[in-house]
Amino acid sequence: MKQSALFSKTRKEAPKDEQSRNAELLIRAGFIHKDMAGVYSYLPLGLRVLTKIQQIIREELNAIGAVEVHLASLQEKTIWEKTGRWDDEVVDNWFKTKLKNNTELGLATTHEEPLTHLLKDHIRSFRDLPLLIYQFQTKFRNEQRAKSGILRGREFLMKDLYSFSKNEEEHAVLYDLMRRAYHNIFEKLGIGDRTYVTFASGGSFAKYSHEFQTLCDSGEDTIYISDEKGIAVNKEVLVDEVLKDLEIDPTTLREARAVETGNIFSLGTRFSEPLELVYKNEKDERVPVIMGSYGIGITRLMGTIAEVLSDEKGLVWPENIAPFQYHIIILKEPTGAVEEIGQLLYEKLKKENEVIYDDRDVQAGVKFADADLIGIPFRIVLGSRSLVDKTVEIIERKTGNSRVVKFEEIL
Amino acid sequence: MKQSALFSKTRKEAPKDEQSRNAELLIRAGFIHKDMAGVYSYLPLGLRVLTKIQQIIREELNAIGAVEVHLASLQEKTIWEKTGRWDDEVVDNWFKTKLKNNTELGLATTHEEPLTHLLKDHIRSFRDLPLLIYQFQTKFRNEQRAKSGILRGREFLMKDLYSFSKNEEEHAVLYDLMRRAYHNIFEKLGIGDRTYVTFASGGSFAKYSHEFQTLCDSGEDTIYISDEKGIAVNKEVLVDEVLKDLEIDPTTLREARAVETGNIFSLGTRFSEPLELVYKNEKDERVPVIMGSYGIGITRLMGTIAEVLSDEKGLVWPENIAPFQYHIIILKEPTGAVEEIGQLLYEKLKKENEVIYDDRDVQAGVKFADADLIGIPFRIVLGSRSLVDKTVEIIERKTGNSRVVKFEEIL
């Protein structure tokens, strides 16, 4: 894509009311737009990152047999009343609205209830289980405060997956399968080395839940990392009993701030019982389905990566989710010959790569500063030297390492 | 995909409160789930169709230089007040909600206002124009009645594109470009032959707007088709002056019911003036941007196609948007040899095609009826004859034509 076709402009300053580093950087680089506190729109560069994150996750989930759906945002109160989660006293972040006839509706904060209810039409016998069902869908949460950019939005994109099993043994297998899928996902997203499986409170149906906590100074969570075990413990369950259970020596733990980018937990029959999602087992008995829930905040993940992998010059995208792989920059000279070569290189390279070509009529310094801010992994620079040597300079955004490469080599 | 992994079940009857043929068929075939009147969730088969429709549209729009974004659903009233569209007396289908501090918010019914406002950060000079910006995004419209299935939802998926031009001449070029892109899109979707460019009221800024009306008995619109010209006129502008203008002989017109699956119209400065979206021209003067708006209802389109291309047995998907291309059905026999070949065929075929393999342990009659209802373009049937002849039968869903093909040929 030519940079001139990308309508977004970089800017020196983020809006004054923006306090978070992730949104500040993403706004300045033209990836997102702030509509109001906690509500952001995604511009072409930002949408490309979101789409890539989704595709990586989709491939991992499809590989383990999960199927994708798209559930509604507008929610009727009846099914939420059955699980006791309609009341604003119980769930304090509902956005509610009304039909013309004054029927109250809610905007989905999550989708356990509607999916459990929906499956009553489709799950009948033990032959229909197990199931892994997921979606990428906007969630609406009426947060009291929204100061963390896209780390905690009032409207945000989430991947939520729900597992449906015949019994606890089958659930344990799926839970473990998901845990491994999440490992793969965080590795592919380029933050595997700073993301810890973190033991957290399990609620009524399991000893623990498992959070995927990504180290980040502006994170809301405090975790305690055991480097020896390669896991962490959330502050909320940091008690002797838990450490003993996990065979962790308390003196080896180190405290860190982190963002909960993913979580997996067992729901037992919390939803299937009140919503009557049952199946008939081999003995023709009606048995409630055992459920699990597995979330990854897609926009939160993008914000976390923006924050933790950036430097003082701007964003630094991992190759797998960068909006483009190569950023071609031309240092113009009077003859126009460099521009001609640049154009040729762009046409050739874009056939098999994602390339952005800075065709704007601005000074080289502006182009370099913008490229640093936008954070494409590899920058290819052509100047008058390119004419003489028939070379280009390739600079890696992450390390700043550069090398001079012959035209033939790059093509 | 194996049919057993697809959790949706077909059913003989749609919910009693479902009155529309499109939703009735799509629910029975397991493509969608009805959450409430006008609100539907998309199951794996339905989501596959939606995704394909989107991809066809995306490719056509990208080919003419449009860029994709994703705008927020939650809307602050300030920018809508500037255009006079916040008031419920003016726009009667808002869903409104509130932040914790009682600030009123709206759920986007459309996105002219937020995109126009957003672009103030990015459009500065004549060099930044023209632009074509689009998204696929959920719209929320508080319809008084919602009896048309996914033809008119309270929550629905729309492709909305907005054009931004320097002047009327440039706008006319983009408008025409979009009109041609829409032609291509409807052709590729398999309903080109029954979709008419229909002249409709242009509002304040143009003589006409152009609707893309797809013939459908349950459509809400009445149009008058000129077969000679290959265009139609909406009932709302069926007056002598218009017919004269379009050089249509009134006696040649035929009346038809249709669904407005797409529309394109000129907005002039209706939004850019109140929202102050201006650019600096070559003379350094501040000039309001000329806008256009171009919609396609994605879920409505799916519903229309479901309705108009179905027959008494069920859905009949055009190849380009069918959830799968091939439906393999095995007529089981005691030796299990046919099943073995079926499995082999499935493994081979799915490498380069989208295949659904009915591996369920049900009677052949059930499999055939379900396959008819689901409407995959080509059914491949293997029975005991396959063992003897080394052949399979291929049946085209649309025509019912079948032919017997040697194994080698199909592989």
User: For residue range B297-356, what is the model confidence (pLDDT) as tens digits?
Assistant: 999 999 999 999 999 999 999 999 999 999 999 998 888 889 999 999 999 999 999 999
Chain A residue numbers with beta carbons less than 8 Å from the beta carbon of B302 are none
The SS3 assignment for A294 reads strand
**Cα–Cα distance for residue pair B330/B368, rounded to 1 Å:** 10
- HSE, side-chain direction, 13 A CA sphere, residue B227: 6
Last residue of a domain, one of B277, B308, B339: B308
What pLDDT band is residue A170 in, cutting at 50, 70 and 90? very high
In this structure, the answer to whether residues B340 and B398 fall within a common structural domain is yes
Chain A residue numbers with beta carbons less than 8 Å from the beta carbon of B122 are 7-9, 30
**Cα–Cα distance for residue pair A152/A146, rounded to 1 Å:** 7
Average pLDDT over residues A398-409: 93
**Cα–Cα distance for residue pair A360/A344, rounded to 1 Å:** 16
Look at residue B2 in the predicted model and tell me its pLDDT.
92
Least confident of A12-21, A34-43, A91-100, B164-173: A12-21
**Cα–Cα distance for residue pair A300/A23, rounded to 1 Å:** 11
Last residue of a domain, one of B263, B281, B308: B308
Strands (E), A2-103: 32-36, 39-42, 67-68, 74-76, 95-98
Q: Which residue has the tokens 């034509």?
A: B401
> Which residues, other chains included, contact B318 with Cβ-Cβ below 8 Å and sequence gap of 6+?
B189, B190, B191, B305, B309, B377
Chain A residue numbers with beta carbons less than 8 Å from the beta carbon of B69 are 41-44, 47
The SS3 assignment for A194 reads helix
Average pLDDT over residues B351-376: 95
In this structure, the answer to whether residues A165 and A273 fall within a common structural domain is yes
Q: Is the pLDDT of residue A411 over 80?
A: no
In this structure, the answer to whether residues A301 and A331 fall within a common structural domain is no
Burial of A365 (0-12, 13-18, 19+ CB in 10 A): exposed
Q: Is the pLDDT of residue A384 over 80?
A: yes
> Which residues, other chains included, contact A340 with Cβ-Cβ below 8 Å and sequence gap of 6+?
none
Nearest by CB: A74 against B46, B65, B154: B154
- HSE, side-chain direction, 13 A CA sphere, residue B205: 18
What pLDDT band is residue A387 in, cutting at 50, 70 and 90? confident
Phi, psi (deg, nearest 5) at residue B4 = -65, -25
CA B222 and chain centroid, separation: 20
> Which residues pair with residue B293 across a beta bridge?
B162, B265
Phi, psi (deg, nearest 5) at residue A383 = -135, -170
CB atoms within 10 A of CB A85: 19
Note the ipTM here.
Answer: 0.97
Q: Which residue has the tokens 């726009």?
A: B91
Q: Given an 8 Å threshold on Cβ–Cβ distance, is B122 in contact with A71?
A: no
Average pLDDT over residues B22-31: 97
DSSP track, A248-278: --GGG-EEEEEEEEEEEEEEETTTTTTTT-E
Q: Is the pLDDT of residue A408 over 90?
A: no
> Which residues pair with residue B10 across a beta bridge?
none
| CA angle in degrees (0–180, nearest 5) for A67-A69-A71 | 150
Question: Each residue of B175-231: pLDDT tens digit?
Answer: 999 999 999 999 999 999 999 999 999 988 899 999 999 999 999 999 999 999 999
Q: Which residue has the tokens 């209830």?
A: A113
**Residue A393 maps to a domain:** yes
Burial of B384 (0-12, 13-18, 19+ CB in 10 A): middle
In this structure, the answer to whether residues A257 and A351 fall within a common structural domain is no
Nearest by CB: A118 against B41, B73, B138: B41
Report whether A279 contacts A286 (CB < 8 A).
yes
Average pLDDT over residues A228-247: 96
How many angstroms away from the CA of B241 is the closest CA of chain A? 39
Report whether A291 contacts A162 (CB < 8 A).
yes
- Which CATH number do you get for residue B334? 3.40.50.800
CA B23 and chain centroid, separation: 14
In this structure, the answer to whether residues A27 and A67 fall within a common structural domain is yes
**Cα–Cα distance for residue pair B115/A341, rounded to 1 Å:** 36
Look at residue B163 in the predicted model and tell me its pLDDT.
98
In this structure, the answer to whether residues A71 and A207 fall within a common structural domain is yes
**Cα–Cα distance for residue pair B22/A78, rounded to 1 Å:** 26
In this structure, the answer to whether residues A338 and A281 fall within a common structural domain is no
Question: Each residue of A56-109: pLDDT tens digit?
Answer: 999 999 999 999 999 999 999 999 999 999 999 999 999 999 999 999 999 999
Report whether B229 contacts B215 (CB < 8 A).
no
What's this model's pTM, rounded to 2 decimal places? 0.97
What pLDDT band is residue A385 in, cutting at 50, 70 and 90? confident
What pLDDT band is residue B48 in, cutting at 50, 70 and 90? very high
Phi, psi (deg, nearest 5) at residue B25 = -65, -45
Residue in B176, B209, B208, B182 with CA at minimum distance from that of residue B195: B182
DSSP track, B33-101: EEEETTEEEE-HHHHHHHHHHHHHHHHHHHHTT-EE-B--SEEEHHHHHHTT--STTTSTT-EEEE-TT
Task: List the domain range (segments joined by +) for residue A266.
Answer: 3-308
Chain B residue numbers with beta carbons less than 8 Å from the beta carbon of A23 are none
Q: Given an 8 Å threshold on Cβ–Cβ distance, is A118 in contact with B76?
A: no
CA B48 and chain centroid, separation: 12
In this structure, the answer to whether residues A220 and A291 fall within a common structural domain is yes
Look at residue B335 in the predicted model and tell me its pLDDT.
86
Q: Given an 8 Å threshold on Cβ–Cβ distance, is B39 in contact with A140?
A: no
Percent of chain B with pLDDT over 90: 91
Q: Mark A190-217 as b/e (b = at least 16 C-beta within 10 Å).
A: bbeebbbbbbbeeeebbebbbbbbbbbe
Report whether A125 contacts A279 (CB < 8 A).
yes
Report whether B56 contacts B101 (CB < 8 A).
no
Chain B residue numbers with beta carbons less than 8 Å from the beta carbon of A68 are 44, 47
Nearest chain B residue to A14, by CA: B121
The whole-chain average pLDDT of chain A stands at 96
In this structure, the answer to whether residues B339 and B208 fall within a common structural domain is no
> Which residues pair with residue A223 across a beta bridge?
A234, A256
Reading the block at residue A73, the tokens are 């945002």
In this structure, the answer to whether residues B263 and B373 fall within a common structural domain is no
**Residue B160 maps to a domain:** yes
Look at residue A205 in the predicted model and tell me its pLDDT.
83
Nearest chain A residue to B71, by CA: A41
| CA angle in degrees (0–180, nearest 5) for A208-A210-A212 | 160
| CA angle in degrees (0–180, nearest 5) for A348-A353-A358 | 70
**Cα–Cα distance for residue pair A341/A274, rounded to 1 Å:** 67
**Residue B2 maps to a domain:** no
Q: Is the pLDDT of residue A177 over 80?
A: yes
Burial of B194 (0-12, 13-18, 19+ CB in 10 A): middle
Total length of chain B: 411
Look at residue B336 in the predicted model and tell me its pLDDT.
87
Q: Is the pLDDT of residue B46 over 80?
A: yes
Q: Count of domains in chain B?
A: 2
Question: Each residue of B236-287: pLDDT tens digit?
Answer: 999 999 999 999 999 999 999 999 999 999 999 999 999 999 999 999 999 9
Q: Given an 8 Å threshold on Cβ–Cβ distance, is B138 in contact with A73?
A: yes
Report whether A322 contacts A292 (CB < 8 A).
no
Nearest by CB: B97 against A71, A107, A123: A107
Q: Which amino acid is at B326?
A: Y
**Residue B44 maps to a domain:** yes
Q: Given an 8 Å threshold on Cβ–Cβ distance, is B97 in contact with A100?
A: no
**Cα–Cα distance for residue pair A235/B236, rounded to 1 Å:** 66
**Residue A318 maps to a domain:** no
Average pLDDT over residues B94-115: 98
Segment (H or E) for A407:
helix A407-410
How far lies A339's CA from each of A335, A374, A377, in Å?
Answer: 9, 22, 22
**Residue A74 maps to a domain:** yes
Burial of A258 (0-12, 13-18, 19+ CB in 10 A): buried
Last residue of a domain, one of B281, B308, B335: B308
Segment (H or E) for A343:
helix A337-349
**Residue B152 maps to a domain:** yes
How many angstroms away from the CA of A405 is the closest CA of chain B? 32
Q: Is the pLDDT of residue B411 over 80?
A: no
In this structure, the answer to whether residues A77 and A139 fall within a common structural domain is yes
In this structure, the answer to whether residues B195 and B275 fall within a common structural domain is yes
Phi, psi (deg, nearest 5) at residue A71 = -95, 160
Residue in A74, A72, A71, A80 with CA at minimum distance from that of residue A98: A74
- Which CATH number do you get for residue B261? 3.30.930.10
**Cα–Cα distance for residue pair A202/A199, rounded to 1 Å:** 9
**Residue A316 maps to a domain:** no
Report whether A70 contacts B299 (CB < 8 A).
no
Average pLDDT over residues A318-323: 97
* Alpha helices (runs of H) in B286-396, residue ranges in sequence order: 298-308, 337-349, 364-374, 384-389
Chain A residue numbers with beta carbons less than 8 Å from the beta carbon of B142 are 99-100
Chain A residue numbers with beta carbons less than 8 Å from the beta carbon of B46 are 70
Nearest by CB: A33 against B121, B123, B128: B121
**Cα–Cα distance for residue pair A318/A191, rounded to 1 Å:** 9
Nearest by CB: B72 against A6, A39, A75: A39
CA A233 and chain centroid, separation: 22
**Cα–Cα distance for residue pair A400/A372, rounded to 1 Å:** 10
> Which residues, other chains included, contact B48 with Cβ-Cβ below 8 Å and sequence gap of 6+?
B323, B324
